[in-house]
Amino acid sequence: MNARDVLQRGLRAAITALLVAVATWLAPPALAGQPCTERRLTADELVRSLELAARTAAALERSGARAAIVARAGQDLREWGLRYSHIAIAYRDGDAAGGHGAWRVVHKLNHCGSDRASLFRHGLAEFFGEDLYDFEAGIVTLEPAAGAVLAARLRDNFTVARLHEPRYNMLAYAWATRYQQSNQWALETLAHVLEPAATDRHRAQAWLRLRGYQPTTLHINAVRRLGARVGSANIAFDDHPAARRFSDRIDTVTADSAFDWLMRSGLGRERLAVR
């Protein structure tokens, strides 16, 4: 074992003791959800990602919330006017009255550029232990009633997986069910947990519409759409309405639109940025 491996192991052990960040997989062991990059994080990047996880846990603790939506900046999306790339539902796994329990996240991850995805239950250290574009976390804490419901129900794997569609499309149409991308799964699952009648994806999407959710409209011309479709198994446009698609308007669920909606709808209590 070289010095770098020793350092990385020591850092992981220290942050794990702080966050109690032990991963519990919802899917069979595989390469699913691992970074789609050939390079490993440098020691400095690893330290910064673990420090970000610790600061995020501290912010969640200070908030007093039971559940929140957390986001990471895994890609540079400034061209599209977006800050964050990926959201997860975070919940406190333990007894609220006693002040115990680790913060965990449930989220959906693409199988390394394929057209399939799976669900995972991670600690904050794993969630931020990626090749991040920027070491900033976004948080929207949820109002107490919704947070309590989510914290209780998200421990159940069946609830988490109820609306999961394994066919993945990074730019899935927000109001279709042919595919499902990661941020879309998070919002639909939020709807399913908070609304008893939202027992399938159609009903969950109807609830989101009723509560005023508005997807992000990306302007992507035909040449870029063709290049993306040919070059990437995890991008498709055939679920988008023809009228929207042929006018270069792609409506999809983004982390930023989710944050905006949570605060606008009253489901979100506080919006934070952690660096």
Q: Is 70 exceeded by the pLDDT of residue 34?
A: no
The dihedral through the CA atoms of 157, 273, 76, 236 has a sign that is positive
Q: What is the mean pLDDT of residues 183-210?
A: 98
Query: Where is pLDDT greater, at 10 or 231?
Result: 231
Q: What is the mean pLDDT of residues 130-137?
A: 95
Distance, CA of 117 to CA of 104 (rounded, Å): 19
The DSSP 8-state label assigned to residue 167 in this structure reads B
pTM as predicted: 0.85
Q: What is the mean pLDDT of residues 137-160?
A: 97
Query: Where is pLDDT greater, at 54 or 37?
Result: 54
pLDDT bracket for residue 24 (50, 70, 90): very low
Q: What is the mean pLDDT of residues 78-97?
A: 88
Of all residues in the chain, what percent carry a pLDDT higher than 90?
79
Beta bridge partners of 86: 72
Helix (H), strand (E) at residue 184: helix 182-194
Query: What counts of helices (H) and strands (E) characterise the chain?
Result: 10, 9
Query: Where is pLDDT greater, at 250 or 230?
Result: 250
Q: Is 90 exceeded by the pLDDT of residue 35?
A: no
The answer for residues whose C-beta is within 8 angstroms of residue 3's C-beta and 6 or more apart is none
Displacement of CA 5 from its chain's centroid (Å):
28
Both tokens of 111, joined, read 């199988």
Q: How distant, in Å, are the alpha carbons of 80, 86, 171, 205 from that of 234?
A: 19, 15, 8, 22
Distance, CA of 89 to CA of 104 (rounded, Å): 8
Predicted confidence at residue 230, as pLDDT, reads 85
Q: Is 70 exceeded by the pLDDT of residue 175?
A: yes
pLDDT bracket for residue 28 (50, 70, 90): very low
Q: Is 60 exceeded by the pLDDT of residue 10?
A: no
If you average pLDDT over every residue of the chain, what do you get? 88
- Return the minimum-mean-pLDDT range out of 59-68, 91-100, 140-149, 244-253: 91-100
Q: HEC states along 71-129? A: EEECCCCHHHCCCCCEEEEEEEECCCCCCCCEEEEEEEEECCCCCEEEEEEEEHHHHHC
Distance, CA of 102 to CA of 121 (rounded, Å): 12
Beta bridge partners of 140: 69, 271
Predicted confidence at residue 11, as pLDDT, reads 47
pLDDT bracket for residue 197 (50, 70, 90): very high
Q: 3-state DSSP call for residue 249?
A: strand
Predicted confidence at residue 95, as pLDDT, reads 54
